[in-house]
Amino acid sequence: MKSYRKELTFKTPTRRAYLNITREVQKAIDDAGVKEGLVLVNAMHITASVFINDDERGLHRDFERFLEKVAPEKPHDQYEHNGYEDNADAHIKRQLMGREVVCAITDGTLDFGPWEQIFYGEYDGMRAKRVLIKVIGI
C-alpha cells in the first residue's frame, strides 16, 4: 500500500471564490503512483470547503446567492461569533458546502461521473489557506 501527502495553498484576491482543483488532485495521484485506491481532499481551515459539482459559472453564482440567503455576510452584528472577527457567515457557509471529499481512483485516474469536478470554496479569503490531498492505494 502506498501513501502520499501534498498540501495546496490558496490566497484568493476576494472574500469568496470557487476554484477548480481537479487538475491539482489528479497531479497528486500521478505523483503518488497509485493506480487503485482513494484520495481524500480537505480544506484545512474552518472558513473554506472542498466539494464536488459541475464547473459551470451560473451554478457557482447560484451557490453564492443561496449561501447569502441562508448565511448573509452582513450585518456583521447579527452573529455572536463576530465579536472578534467578521467571518461568522463563512463558518456557516463552510458547514453547508462541506469540509472534504473522498474519491475513487481507478486505473490511475479520478473515477468520476459526467461533469464532476473538485472545487475549493473560499468564504473568508484574501489570506493564505491550505488544502490537504492524501492519496492511498496500490
Global confidence as pTM: 0.96
- CB 107, CB 35: distance < 8 Å: yes
pLDDT in tens, 60-89: 999 999 999 999 999 999 999 998 889 999
At the topology level, CATH places domain 2-137 in: Jelly Rolls (2.60.120)
Instruction: Give the residue from 84, 87, 83, 107 showing the smallest Cα distance to 95.
Output: 87
Question: What are 102-134's pLDDT values in tens digits?
Answer: 999 999 999 999 999 999 999 999 999 999 999
For the chain, what percent of residues have pLDDT higher than 90?
97
**Domain ranges (residues) in the chain:** 2-137
